[in-house]
Structure 1
């Protein structure tokens, strides 16, 4: 089965490269460092290497507590942080530049045995640590062949993802057996991973709870809020394609004329598109990237077209809606909003974060809404009810605090593999 998978990869490579080049028209980063995607690299850290793979922005931000802990516990080692997207790479550069030459970034090669083998021979990592849902059959097989232990950490696997994986059950089961250990977020995630025969599966919780708001971002959030003025602020964070239309269409009947709507699209290549959607509806809009003075009083929408400032947006808002949940896209991470102590609204589709979403609702930190109109209605009530908003915000902060500790439990699982 893996031979067929590898053959499919080779057949698809021209299409993959064409798509990469086309995406580079909007995101130039896709056209940079292309040799790395084929396993060619210019250098390697002088120290022994601990390899962490974080595919994109969310996984990279989630990896921050783990990377910091590994660098603290293994002072003679360096971290190799690999990605698949330029936004993930840019996020990693922003988060980890504090570590200097103890952290190196590059792209992971495409999942062919030949390219992965070249990658492993070049960097000679002590361990491969995959974040969340990254299961690459040839990568795992080559790690087993080169005696590099593989750990899947902060692992999550929804029922939907499980159903997709079961269509290639032989291939995925073979890959799962190559794991040295799995650190799952919840017991439900652990049980789904065990169905594929993965050994040594433990429940450690979500590392994302250990991501603490940086003081610099909180200060930037305070500055941003001062520039927003006295209006109540609703943040729509990490919105996905189609959601902005739903929100903007419902805004006219929401009775939120006195509020400022902040929209931060999940993907930066959509910034211009979303700005055009707002302008097409006749709503005065200000782009964050061009904000150099206090907002004009008539501005209804602030477009968050900046990278690496999500904590600042959370700090600046009064209520946060978490995107990816109005449409069947699985939702996005609500933990960061809770960590800043903000009331959270989520839509009906949160299957990628089902357990944490339900726990946040049960803790009084979040409310689930059925659609965009209901979301704006709930936001309006909270924006104008300071007592309830404060109560939910306190619940959110307590919820985030009580679930911390996953990083320490994960590092304890990794230590026998590294040594």
Structure 2
């Protein structure tokens, strides 16, 4: 089955390269370092290497506390951080700009045997640390062949992903069985992983709770908020395709009925959609300003005539939360599984989320039980609850306090994960 999988990958390679070029029209990062995706890399150094694979921006942010802990406790090692997306690589570059040469970034090659073999031989990692959901058959097979222990940390597995994996069981199960250690985010994640034959999964919690909100972002949020005047602010964070239309329908229905006009901030999840959402706002004759325009004109103030701020920037989500009164976390109005609400809780904001949170079911349910979040059944309900919170300061304050307490209560996953990884590093000196 793995041979067939490799053959399909090989035949698909021209299309994968064309897709890189196509995506590079909007995200130039996809047209950079292309040879790395084929397993070719510049000359490295001789330091022992710990390899952490974080596919995209979300996984990279989740890995930050673990990477910093590894850099602190393993001063003799170099960290290799690999990605698959341009936003992941850009996020890593920003997060670890202070680290210097001890951390190297690269794209992981496509999961083709000879490419993975070249990658493993070039970097000769002492340990492979996969973040969240990555189980690549040839990657794991080559690690086994070269005696590189594979670990999966901050692991999560939704019901949907489990069903997909079981349909490909002859391909996925051997790879899953070869993973030496698994640190799961929650009990349901561990139980689903056990159905893949991973009986040794340990529940360590979600490392995103250990990410410290950057003080600079909070300061930038305060400065940004001052440019809004006295208006209250509703943030729709990490919105996905199809959600903006629903949100704007509800917003335009309610706006004429409101005496006090709140400012709505919309931050699309993916940067390639910034222009698309801008065009959508323009087609509805809504008065909006892009965050990038405010960055260029530092004296710009948003008066009451501006209805929407389009958050067309990366790496500033904490700033947007700091500048808001209420936050809706996107990906949950449409059946995409939602996004984590940890950043909103870290900033002490009342959280709203839709019905579709299957990728983060336990953490969402726990936040709701802790009175840190509310679940809504659609965009109109979301806006209704947001407006109600704006008019109810005691409830808004209570939910914000509960949210921050929820964030603090769930910290410690990084330390528990480090205990697992330390064992492998001690057993495998190079």
Q: TM-score, normalised by structure 2?
A: 0.96
Residue 275 (structure 2) aligns with: 272
Residue number among 357, 364, 369 corresponding to 1:362 in the alignment: 369
Q: Is the 8 A contact 1:320 1:342 kept in 2?
A: yes
- Offset of residue 329 of structure 1: 0.3
Q: Distance in 1 between matches of 2:193 and 2:171?
A: 14
Q: Is the 8 A contact 1:181 1:199 kept in 2?
A: no
Q: Is the 8 A contact 1:50 1:125 kept in 2?
A: yes
Residue 123 (structure 1) aligns with: 123
Q: Which runs of 5 or more residues in structure 2 are unaligned? A: none
- Offset of residue 295 of structure 1: 1.5
1:6 aligns with 2:6: yes
- Offset of residue 44 of structure 1: 2.2
Q: Distance in 1 between matches of 2:126 and 2:321?
A: 37
Seen in structure 2, the aligned counterparts of structure 1 residues 45 and 285 have a Cα distance that, compared at 3 Å, is farther
Residue 112 (structure 2) aligns with: 112
CA RMSD of aligned residues (A): 1.0
Q: Distance in 1 between matches of 2:171 and 2:425?
A: 27
Residue 158 (structure 1) aligns with: 158
- Offset of residue 250 of structure 1: 1.1
Q: Can you list the C-alpha shifts for 1:309-352, whole angstroms capped at 9, x where unaligned?
A: 01111111100000000000000110010011000000000000
Q: Distance in 1 between matches of 2:346 and 2:272?
A: 27
Q: Distance in 1 between matches of 2:265 and 2:44?
A: 41
Q: Can you list the C-alpha shifts for 1:243-296, whole angstroms capped at 9, x where unaligned?
A: 000001111222456100000000000001101111111111100011022223
Secondary structure of 2:111's counterpart equals coil
Q: Which runs of 5 or more residues in structure 1 are unaligned? A: none
Secondary structure of 1:359's counterpart equals helix
Q: Distance in 2 between matches of 1:339 and 1:181?
A: 29
Q: Is the 8 A contact 1:264 1:305 kept in 2?
A: yes
- Offset of residue 416 of structure 1: 1.1
Q: Distance in 2 between matches of 1:281 and 1:344?
A: 27
Secondary structure of 1:20's counterpart equals helix
Q: Is the 8 A contact 2:24 2:31 kept in 1?
A: yes
Q: Is the 8 A contact 1:45 1:102 kept in 2?
A: no
Q: Can you list the C-alpha shifts for 1:120-139, whole angstroms capped at 9, x where unaligned?
A: 11111111000000110000
Residue 281 (structure 1) aligns with: 284
- Offset of residue 198 of structure 1: 2.1
Q: Distance in 2 between matches of 1:99 and 1:220?
A: 23
Q: Distance in 2 between matches of 1:13 and 1:279?
A: 38
Q: Distance in 2 between matches of 1:296 and 1:274?
A: 21
- Offset of residue 187 of structure 1: 1.1
Secondary structure of 1:151's counterpart equals strand
Q: Can you list the C-alpha shifts for 1:73-119, whole angstroms capped at 9, x where unaligned?
A: 10111110000001110000000111111111010000011001100
- Offset of residue 45 of structure 1: 4.2
- Offset of residue 298 of structure 1: 0.8
Q: TM-score, normalised by structure 1?
A: 0.99
Q: Distance in 1 between matches of 2:43 and 2:252?
A: 55
Q: Is the 8 A contact 1:59 1:131 kept in 2?
A: yes
Q: Distance in 1 between matches of 2:254 and 2:73?
A: 51
Q: Is the 8 A contact 1:180 1:199 kept in 2?
A: no
Q: Can you list the C-alpha shifts for 1:226-251, whole angstroms capped at 9, x where unaligned?
A: 11221100000000000000001111
Q: Is the 8 A contact 2:261 2:304 kept in 1?
A: no
Q: Distance in 2 between matches of 1:164 and 1:369?
A: 28
Q: Distance in 2 between matches of 1:248 and 1:44?
A: 50
Residue 16 (structure 2) aligns with: 16
Q: Distance in 2 between matches of 1:46 and 1:221?
A: 43
Q: Distance in 2 between matches of 1:75 and 1:331?
A: 37
Residue 246 (structure 1) aligns with: 246
Describe how 1:18-417 pairs up with structure 2 within 5 A.
18-255=18-255, 258-291=261-294, 292=298, 293-417=300-424
Q: Is the 8 A contact 1:182 1:199 kept in 2?
A: no
